[in-house]
Chains A and B, each alone.
Chain A
Amino acid sequence: MTLPAPNPAWADLLDALTLQRGYTATVVTLGTTALGIAGGIVGTFALLRKRALMADTLAHASLPGVAGAFMIATALGASGKSLAVLLPGAAISGVLGVLLVHMLTRTGRIRPDAAMAVVLSVTFGLGVVLLSVIQKSSSGQQAGLSTFIYGQTAAMSRTDVLVIACAAAVAAVVIGLILKELTYASFDRSHARVSGIPVGGIDLTLMALVVLVTVVALQAVGLVLAVAILVIPPVTARLWTNRLRRMLALSALFGALGGYTGAVASAVFERLPAGSVIVLASGGLLAISLIAAPNRGVVGAAWRSARLRHGMARDHALRALYELADRSGGPWVSIHELAEHRGASPRSTRWITRVLSLTGYVQRNAGRARLTPRGEADAKRITRNHRLWEQYLLTFADVAPTHVDVSADHAEHALGTDIVAHLERALADRGALPDRLPDHTELEGAGA
């Protein structure tokens, strides 16, 4: 693959990153960063309120409004290309599109997703037709209009940046003021309404903010990609946190990063359209987060599952060593015998004993293994828990499964000291403590 521009020098990149690549580049970078913040904040609630696709419908439905506003303004003799005319037009027709979705859904015959798809495509089609009508009637003048479809970030002016920054500030202030109610209404609409929260008004406010962000995003990223500004940052943020406030802050941060990266990239590689690069950068952040986020990321999940499996294998091996040694009377157990007892392969058994010997729980010698004092203490604890649990299941089988539905094998890892104490008490009351239970006092020294 060849890049659309010659490889830039590192100096160019540094200049762009530090906003020293000329006036236009600086304006664009500030504008897209502010836009990212606005989108990240408003998008968080659009996402939580399950309104993500609504933003897309709104953006597409704004095109007939842009064309219509242009036609009316030129008919009245004003300049049709002024943003003060076009953006209100976009907002009005976008909102009409959303209302149309509501009406279609309300008939009960069209599902919301289908209604959105219908309105989105039909209004967009109408917009394209209107644009071509304009093109035929007033030659050349409409050139600016089609930029709303894909956006034209490079054409951003200082005023545009101020408008975007104001929009971001308004979004942040409004959401900050009604954060409590907005959260409540988004989480549990019925309950909020019963408590006297005006959920209709809250919804309208959120919709107004979505309109605001979408409209200011039209020029920068275009109506096709406007939805990305609202949706990708909060989706990314959600991967990193379970807290709403943190999600809001991270979403704003990821939005800003996406806007900034996109603008810098298009300043360095001059033919790359900034709008698309912003969306790609945000998508890249999302991909990284999907892999790397600690709780919801793929790597984190795989790591936790591997650790659990390893922990179980280790505990089983320790218990098997203890039981075999207990049975045969001597401390040394052959790896082969151990593997058979565990019902595992000799290879995995060799591996686990090697790990245990490295951590000081097991001593190995010529195909045999024995527990070290430290390993024995831990093995006693594990064996004890296991037998207590087994006995509990046997004794209280009619009650236990509804309370704790884990098998004895799983449970021996999960049992905390309070549960173990409870098990002991329950079994002692029934006179059903298992025989040959490893001694409690020897356990004290384990310290594990």
Chain B
Amino acid sequence: MNPPTPKPFDAHPEHDPSSPVSIHALTVAYHRKPVLWDVDLDIHAGRLVAVVGPNGAGKSTLIRACLGLIPSATGNVRFWGEPYREQRRRIGYVPQRDEVDWDFPVSALDVAAMGRYAQIGWFRRVSRAHKDAARACLNRVGMLDYADRQIAQLSGGQQQRVFLARALAQEADLYFMDEPLAGVDAATERAIVEILAKLRDDGKTVVCVHHDLQTIERYFDDVIMLNMRVVATGNVADVFTPDNLRKTYGGRLTTLDRAGHALGTQGG
């Protein structure tokens, strides 16, 4: 397939080492059919970044390709100017909830502690200190009371919080989250958003796939608008415009427009 060719007109051939994520000419294909075309973008440190776009726009694909979970056809991704392998410790991940078997015989604490496994290293048991750290993370997401519950006995929102606690336990500087607010109740949504804001205030960078257009402006600083290619990226206030939304969502949004979607009343 397409060999990675350097683009002569690229204004930034060097990756910016201050940028937590710098994506360069990334193309991802499933069975030869490209689902992401030529993505070029830099994500800035200390920002809450939403990735939006219609179904099949490649939102999860973008995250999974960044993390090396799916191969990319061309292009590369650098984290603080280095490849993923070098910076793995600084990168946390919250996958979609339906990716795992929740009947697995582990407790909420066990799952949170998994965030520490890479630090613990081979052939060592999970020490008390690591367990305490995992407990502290459960506490941060309001799940300490459920630490010993088997994960199947938790509600969807609680499971999502446990996933978040596991990511917090990684103590990363950059987080990728795949729809952390999908299908959670209002209380969980508030709790998670608070934690995200706290992470950002601590100087961490959080990249979230997000599906609810109504809350983008309230929750996020930056937005990446995606539909198989990057339609627009930048500060929410600058980029999240009806015009760009129409470009991102194509015909679908005109229906929403007609239905009196909240877009007309921006800034509320």
Contact = CB atoms under 8 A, between A and B. Distances in A.
A193 interface: yes
Contact of A243 (B107, B152, B166): B107
Interface in A8-43: none
A182 B187 CA distance: 34
Given A191-B93, A194-B91, A196-B118, A108 B31 contact: yes
Nearest to B31: A108
Nearest to A405: B185
B1 interface: no
Interface stretch (B16-24, B95-103, B226-234, B242-250): B95-103
Interface of A: 48, 50, 108, 177-178, 180-181, 183-184, 186-188, 190-197, 238, 241-244, 247, 402-403
Contacts of A177: 122-123
B235 interface: no
Given A180-B126, A195-B88, A403-B187, A244 B117 contact: no
A187 B111 contact: yes
A437 B172 CA distance: 53
B21 to A, nearest CB: 14
A187 B150 contact: no
Contacts of A242: 105, 107, 150, 152
Contact of B118 (A197, A241, A247): A197
Contacts, number: 79
Contact of B95 (A184, A188, A247): A188
B120 interface: yes
A181 B69 contact: no
B95 A244 contact: no
A441 B101 CA distance: 49
Given A180-B126, A181-B122, A191-B95, A247 B114 contact: no
A184 B114 CA distance: 7
A181 B123 CA distance: 9
Nearest to A242: B150
Contact of B101 (A187, A191, A194): A187
B9 interface: no
Nearest to B118: A195
B91 A187 contact: no
B93 A244 contact: no
Given A191-B95, A195-B118, A403-B185, A244 B69 contact: no
A218 to B, nearest CB: 29
Contacts of B110: 183, 244
Contact of B69 (A184, A194, A238, A241): A194
12 contacts: A183-B106, A187-B114, A188-B114, A191-B166, A192-B114, A194-B67, A194-B93, A195-B115, A243-B107, A244-B110, A247-B105, A403-B185
A196 B93 CA distance: 12
B117 A180 contact: yes
B186 interface: yes
Contacts of A187: 100-101, 104, 106, 111, 114
Contacts of B152: 242
Contacts of A180: 117, 120, 124-126
B117 A238 contact: no
A402 B185 contact: yes
Interface string B163-176: 00010001000000
Nearest to A48: B104
A51 to B, nearest CB: 13
A166 to B, nearest CB: 21
A195 B107 contact: no
Contacts of B64: 190
B117 A197 contact: yes
Contacts of A186: 104
B206 to A, nearest CB: 16
Chain A CB count within 10 A is highest, among B64, B69, B105, B120, for: B105
Contacts of B69: 190, 193-194
Contacts of B118: 195-197
Nearest to B67: A194
User: Which 10 residue pairs spanning A and B have beta carbons closest together?
Assistant: A242-B150, A195-B118, A194-B93, A244-B105, A188-B100, A187-B104, A196-B118, A196-B88, A194-B67, A184-B114
Contacts of B106: 183, 187, 244
Contacts of B185: 402-403
A154 B104 CA distance: 38
Interface string B122-161: 1111100000000000000000000000101000000000
Given A194-B67, A238-B105, A242-B150, 5 more contacts: A50-B101, A187-B101, A191-B95, A195-B114, A243-B105
Nearest to A237: B105
A180 B198 CA distance: 30
A246 to B, nearest CB: 8
A50 B103 CA distance: 12
A180 B111 CA distance: 11
Contacts of B125: 180
A247 B105 CA distance: 8
A402 B186 contact: yes
Contact of A190 (B95, B124, B126): B95
A48 B181 CA distance: 28
A390 to B, nearest CB: 22
Nearest to B115: A195
A238 B150 CA distance: 12
Contacts of A184: 114, 117
Interface string B36-74: 000000000000000000000000000010011100000
A65 B152 CA distance: 42
A253 to B, nearest CB: 16
Contacts of B126: 180
Contacts of B166: 191
B164 to A, nearest CB: 12
B105 A195 contact: no
Contacts of B187: 403
B65 to A, nearest CB: 12
A48 B105 CA distance: 9
A239 B170 CA distance: 32
